[in-house]
Structure 1
Amino acid sequence: MSEKKYYSRSPEEWKKIDEEKRRAYLQRSQQLRRRAYTFLLINLFVVVVIILGYFIFKSFPRPQQSYIAFSGSLSFQLIMGKSEDYYPDEAIDVKIKAINDSKKTVALKIKGFSMKIFSETNDIVYKFNYNGTVEKNIESYQSVLIFSLKHERELKLSPGTYRIDTEIILDKKNIRLQRTFNVKEDIFISLSSKDDFFFPGEDSIISIYFTNHSLYNGVLQLNSMKFSIDSKFLDIPMEKKIFSISEGERVKIIDIKFKAPKEKGAHPVKVETTFLMGKEIRNFSAQKNIVVASKDDLSSLKNLRIITDSVIVTPIGSEIKFKVFLANDSSKDKFLILNRFFLQISKASVDFYKYDISQSFKLMVPAYSKRMIFDTESWQKLIFNEEGKYNVEIVVYTNKGVIKHNYQILVH
């Protein structure tokens, strides 16, 4: 009998191939199961670590600072109005706040409060005591003001280091807060100009101001002055001048007239002065960079906008303070001439506050930055004694056109 011939593979060969495929499939399946199992173990390990870390973190004591204390879910803070030192002519600003750090409303009950401020020699320079009971519910993640020194008294202090001791008497615990601060004297001169930049070679003015953050009250006499641009001294006519100055006062000493450099860019300006203060001779110096730009550098209004730091909701009877800025959203400095500034606050077509000034000066807004152009504190107090929506309209007139900004303030 002749031998059978197969045109592909024999049954034995196909069986062998199927066995190899089956073994490869089982091996691959086992590898995938081991990988999935390993991945599951890793995930479970990470979850366990996170849960353990959470409970371990909660078990650690909260960080302690002498001006922060805790009672349950409430934290109590002694807050200074300034992060830096105070001057003798500045009123000390101290606030005590209670903050609810929980998701639920917390009842606060204060049975007494006291504050003392001590000098370096441990003398009491200020004290306040309240022995009554105050109760207040504090909403979740909200705070209440317990005490404000500025509301009680305008306290100004002589130079030195001072310590604040505060005690808050609660139902089950007394909270003690403590903080130190410094009061220091500082007397200096500064340079200021109306314009942010100058055209090449134009007649320009820089003013020298004398600031007295000290206890000195008396006569101030300018004896000598040197003025330089790019380290080259200029011949500036000067007469000896006598001024009266008080603590906390800032006075203009002199206007320096000069021609701006012809080269564009930043140029260092420096002034050196000698003053007679009472019987003491004092030397002061100041410096700044002035910028020279040509008329070809005057910019378009593209990427410029008006912004403010104003609140948009406020309680009735409150005072509002805000600043107005020009913001530059482009990658290049913007050079403009501001010709007029207009601000109007109205309600139901009735004007409550209006400020309109036409005054030309050169303005530079750095790239990706902002430049303040108005501050309500330098104008007047803005107090709203009627409920409702107030419309705020701001218009800036420049050599390249007009920029506008409108928004509303809700008084309730």
Structure 2
Amino acid sequence: MQYFSKSPEEWQKYDEERKKEKERREQPKKRIIRWTFYIVIFLSILSLIFIIIGRRGSRFDLPYNVVIKGIHINLESKEEYYYPDNLDIKVTIQNTNNKDSHITINNFSFLIVNQENSEVVYSYVFPQPVETDISPYKTILVFDLLREKEISNLDKGTYEARVTFVLNDENVNLVKTFNYNKGLIIDVSAKDMFYLTTEFPSVSILAVNGTNETFNKELFGTLTIKQNEKVIHSQKFSFGTLNLNPLSSIPLDFEINKKLDPGNYYVLFDFNSLEQTYATTLNIVNQTDKNYNDISLLVYVISAASRGDQLDFEGLLRNSNKQPRAFEISQVRFKLFYEEQLIYNYENNDLSRVYIPELGTTRVFDLSNVKTITLDRSGKYEIQFSVKIGDKIFSKKHTVEVY
């Protein structure tokens, strides 16, 4: 018999050599997988040790969060409040043990202190002992500031919420820092996600009087555009005298009197009259993209929920290319069905621009900005979401089970 390529013996030898070469190439990969496996096991054991230690009596020394013998005590507060927000501060206790726990609380004290001058702006004291049993993994509310007093209209500054009490003969001291903002609040952003090199970029400015007094002051300053720390452009601006009633706002538009080369820029608005500086970014491109390769649609939404939960949904475009992309969206659609019956329909046909950084994502739809939807019936909900760019439609379907 004649072999036109190799004999069986030669093929066997060839296969053995290929097998050895493949094993040699895969050795580094196998080592990585093996060490990754060891690291995962180590981290899992370490986490288990922390859980056991935490439950059996040690504390995690966070200023607003401690664990004592499996009892988790937490001081809850937002980090930023804006006038006229009421302070929303709570103290909760959770039993992380797998059996009932009996607790006694003595000499409970709650303070709000101005960090700058140490002034106590509110105090609450409850010296009498309180006893209760907590079921495994159950959380109870110990203190709710909103039930005791509505506190707002604080001076602008940094404050501390301080809590002290005795839990089963153990001293508990918690501190949570927060800022209370009061004054003229400025929000600066580019009007569009990108601009062409043939256009003068525009910036939107929203001025909000976040005080209980009328704001009457001239608004002026200097705009500076930078790229890689290099100043590209600078110009003066003035919006004249603003007369804003308490909690009112006014939108202001500003056009930059310079066309820019393609790239990403950092824009600084230095409001001299306020002694404050705000920043935003500008993305400049030669032209909008017509090629939709490497673009895909993502949705962020839960698959299961409890009856009465609010539906949260976000739609994003993902760029798998190593170059940024700039598109014009001509349509966004969101439909919600309950048991195959349409219960909400949103459609926006306004032309809008979207800029997606290299290997990044950009949000193109957020349901919370257009509608608050409560999942008030048990059963199956279906979401149909689509985005149209040019003649291409990107679409997704998603099912949410409500129990």
Q: TM-score, normalized by length of structure 1?
A: 0.67
- Of 71, 81, 88 in structure 2, the residue corresponding to residue 74 of structure 1 is 71
Instruction: Tell me whether 1:404 sits opposite 2:395 in the alignment.
Output: yes
- Paired position in structure 1 for 2:282: 290
Structure 1 position 286, deviation (Å): 3.4
Structure 1: give runs of 5+ residues left out of the alignment. 1-49, 276-281
Structure 1 position 300, deviation (Å): 1.2
Structure 2: give runs of 5+ residues left out of the alignment. 1-44, 226-230
- 1:332 match: secondary structure: coil
**Distance across 2 between alignment mates of 1:400 and 1:321:** 29
- Paired position in structure 1 for 2:253: 254
- 1:138 match: secondary structure: coil
- 1:306 match: secondary structure: strand
* 1:44-78 Cα shifts (integer Å, max 9, x gaps): xxxxxx9xxx79x9599444345333343232222
Report sequence identity in percent: 14
Structure 1 position 218, deviation (Å): 1.0
- Of 367, 371, 390 in structure 1, the residue corresponding to residue 362 of structure 2 is 371
* 1:138-169 Cα shifts (integer Å, max 9, x gaps): 34xx7566555568776434334544344678
- 1:393 match: secondary structure: strand
- Of 242, 263, 266 in structure 1, the residue corresponding to residue 264 of structure 2 is 266
- 1:320 match: secondary structure: coil
**Distance across 2 between alignment mates of 1:286 and 1:166:** 36
Structure 1 position 379, deviation (Å): 2.3
Q: For structure 1, which segment, 374-383 or 223-232, has the greater mean C-alpha deviation from structure 2 after superposition?
A: 223-232
Instruction: Verify the 8 A CA contact 2:159 2:178 in the aligned structure 1.
Output: yes
- Of 328, 341, 364 in structure 2, the residue corresponding to residue 337 of structure 1 is 328
* 1:62-108 Cα shifts (integer Å, max 9, x gaps): 443453333432322223333xx544444433343434445x35456
- Paired position in structure 1 for 2:38: none
* 1:248-292 Cα shifts (integer Å, max 9, x gaps): x6532333264632x2112444444454xxxxxx34443433221
- Paired position in structure 2 for 1:118: 112
Instruction: Verify the 8 A CA contact 1:270 1:286 in the aligned structure 2.
Output: yes
- What is the one-letter code of the residue matched to 1:251? I
- What is the one-letter code of the residue matched to 1:206? V
Q: For structure 1, which segment, 352-361 or 62-71, has the greater mean C-alpha deviation from structure 2 after superposition?
A: 62-71
Which protein has the larger Cα radius of gyration, Structure 1 or Structure 2? 1
- What is the one-letter code of the residue matched to 1:232? H
- What is the one-letter code of the residue matched to 1:286? Y
CA shift in 2, pair 1:138/1:339, >3 Å: farther
CA shift in 2, pair 1:73/1:224, >3 Å: closer
- Paired position in structure 2 for 1:232: 233
CA shift in 2, pair 1:136/1:285, >3 Å: closer
- Paired position in structure 2 for 1:25: none
CA shift in 2, pair 1:127/1:264, >3 Å: same
Instruction: Tell me whether 1:383 sits opposite 2:381 in the alignment.
Output: no
Alignment of 1:3-402 (within 5 A): 61-82=58-79, 85-102=80-97, 104-107=98-101, 116-120=110-114, 123=120, 125=122, 127=124, 135-139=133-137, 149=145, 155-156=151-152, 157-166=154-163, 172-173=168-169, 176-185=172-181, 187=184, 189-212=186-209, 215=211, 217-227=213-223, 229=225, 231-233=232-234, 240-247=240-247, 251-256=250-255, 258=257, 260-261=259-260, 263-275=261-273, 282-295=274-287, 297-308=289-300, 310-399=301-390, 401-402=392-393
**Distance across 2 between alignment mates of 1:154 and 1:331:** 52
Instruction: Verify the 8 A CA contact 1:342 1:394 in the aligned structure 2.
Output: yes
Structure 1 position 410, deviation (Å): 2.2
* 1:194-246 Cα shifts (integer Å, max 9, x gaps): 31111111254222233555x3631344454544555434587x663533143
- What is the one-letter code of the residue matched to 2:91? I
- 1:368 match: secondary structure: coil
How much is the aligned-residue C-alpha RMSD, in angstroms? Answer: 3.9
**Distance across 2 between alignment mates of 1:340 and 1:114:** 57
Instruction: Verify the 8 A CA contact 2:266 2:280 in the aligned structure 1.
Output: yes
**Distance across 2 between alignment mates of 1:149 and 1:301:** 54
CA shift in 2, pair 1:131/1:221, >3 Å: same
Instruction: Verify the 8 A CA contact 2:190 2:281 in the aligned structure 1.
Output: no
- What is the one-letter code of the residue matched to 1:350? Q
**Distance across 2 between alignment mates of 1:389 and 1:112:** 48
- 2:155 match: secondary structure: coil
- Paired position in structure 2 for 1:36: none
**Distance across 1 between alignment mates of 2:141 and 2:320:** 38
**Distance across 2 between alignment mates of 1:133 and 1:352:** 49
Q: TM-score, normalized by length of structure 2?
A: 0.68
Q: For structure 1, which segment, 365-374 or 128-137, has the greater mean C-alpha deviation from structure 2 after superposition?
A: 128-137
**Distance across 2 between alignment mates of 1:88 and 1:239:** 24
**Distance across 1 between alignment mates of 2:338 and 2:184:** 45
Instruction: Verify the 8 A CA contact 1:163 1:178 in the aligned structure 2.
Output: no
- What is the one-letter code of the residue matched to 2:353? K
